[in-house]
Structure formats: C-alpha cells, structure tokens
Amino acid sequence: MAITFSQNVFERICTSATNSTAEVYDMIAPHLDDTLQSINRVLLGDMADKLDSVPGLESAVVKLVCLRTYQEQIPQLDLVLTPTGFGVVSNQNLAPASADRVKNLLQQVTNSAEDAYDRCLELLVGTDWADTAQARINIPNLIYTARQLKMYVEFPSEDVHRSKLVECRSRMYQAEEKLRQHVSAEFFDHILEQTRHNAYTKEETAMADYMCKFIGFCIAKDWAAAKDMLERIENYAEAKAETFTAYKNSEAYKVKHFQTYQNEKDDSTYFWG
C-alpha cells in the first residue's frame, strides 16, 4: 500500500517544525520517500505492502519516516526559532537559532525517532514478518527495544533510547554466548525464535525473563548476580527438560547426562582393577 505525506501530517508529528508557512516541510518533503524506501529495506521487507494487516503499524511507520527524515535534515537546515517552532532563515534580518538550541532539537528528534523505530518492532513481532531476514537483523538479541533494556538494566542518570541498546549490543552477545554454552545453542536459538514470533509458552516466558535478567546483570557488570541467575537458568532448564525439548535434544544436554560405562561383575567384559 502507498503511504502519502502532507504538511499537516508532518507537523502533527514533528511539532517543533510547525510554521505558518511550509518552509520546513518544503525542504523536508523531497527526502521523505527516500527515508521510506530505506525503512522498507532495513525494517519492513515484505510487510511494506501489508501495513494495514497490523493495527497501528501504518501510523507508526509514518511517524518513523517523518521523524527520521527531520532528524537527518536538521543539520542541513538554517533554522530560526519562531513563536510556533523552528523555521528556516529566509532573510538577513532573521538570526539563526543558537547552536545549543539546534543541538537540543536534534537530540529530541533523534530520541523520538529511535522510540518510533522500537514501536514498529513491537508491532511487527508475532506477524509473518517474524520469519523474514529483517526480523533476524532487527531482533538479533533477546533484549531488542530500549523499553526492555530499561526493564533489565538501571541507568539512573541517562535517558535510555535505541542508541543505548546498540551501545550495549556487544555485551549482550557475550552474555548470550555464555547462555549458549550452558543451556545449548539450540535451546537459546529456539527462545530467540519464539521472541520474534511472540509465541512463548508459560515456561518459555519464565525462561526468557531469567535469560534477560542474566543479560542485564552482565551489561551492568554485576557478576555475582549474573552467576546466581545463570545457575537458576540451568536448574530451570533441567527441571523442565521434558517441556524444553530443544534443550533435551541438544548435544549439551546429552554431554551433561552422559553415563560412563559401569563395570559390573555379571558383565561378560568385567575388568578387574
């Protein structure tokens, strides 16, 4: 389906660009379609033609496109602060907005754009999108939105948005590799796949929460809490092995439960020693 943009829609989303004339929108508009195509490639994939199949997705994508385009174009615009918002300097009698004001505006718009991206992800999980390459690219970890990151890691002095999630990604991979070593790559990959499909069972919901807590402790470098949580994860996997078939069928499980040969007297190959 085709998305159409207008000054009214753009200014409703990017309120700081509200102006009695169309100065800002006219400079932004030529770039909106390029941004949309980029988002189609990186995020939406085939879902770009089925936005109306997911309630709220089209409006979320429109918001993301407007904010992302505004974010990318702010450094190129010669902005002036007006009573209604930021406009474009159009004559020598208008003083450009201060560098600090423009910097603060750019940060606010960036934060909003990142939150809009996360909202699109939340709407896409559990749909046909979950089986696409875009799903694997955008949800490579169990914690995949800033909202989740704030749930599992305390950042007392920071406003947390998607850029912080990206910053923490290397620690996430390290923590998840430890989980793979302890409860098998097969089982971890199954939980991650269930995350993309939004299809946890009751037991998987608890396990995913334990895993995210472990990852959060690793990000925060709370190694004592991480060690305790890893032990809980292993114990829970063992207790629910009949339910967690991906774990029970894994090589890691077989190695843990391998029984060495028992030398019995009644055995025809009994060995003295």
pLDDT at 272: 40
pTM of the model: 0.88
> Whats the size of the chain, residue-wise?
273
pLDDT of residue 60: 98
d(CA 89, CA 77): 9
Write out the chain's pLDDT in tens, 273 residues: 578 899 999 999 998 887 656 778 888 999 999 999 999 999 999 999 999 999 999 999 999 999 999 999 988 777 666 655 676 655 555 556 677 888 888 999 999 999 999 999 999 999 999 999 999 999 999 999 999 999 999 998 778 999 999 999 999 999 999 999 999 999 999 999 999 999 999 999 999 999 999 999 999 999 999 999 999 999 999 999 999 999 999 988 888 887 544 545 555 444 344
Could you tell me the end-to-end alpha-carbon distance of the chain, in angstroms, rounded to an integer?
A: 78
Q: What pLDDT, on the 0 to 100 scale, is given for residue 87?
A: 61
What per-residue confidence (pLDDT) applies to 1? 59
Buried b (16+ CB within 10 A) or exposed e, 201-234: eeebeebbebbbbbbbbbbbeeeeebeebbeebe
pLDDT tens digits for range 171-223: 999 999 999 999 999 999 999 999 999 999 999 999 999 999 999 999 999 99
Rounded-to-integer distance, Cα 91 and Cα 82, Å? 14
Under 8 Å CB-to-CB from 4, ≥6 apart: which residues? none
Q: Of 165, 266, 168, 184, nearest to 233 (Cα)?
A: 184
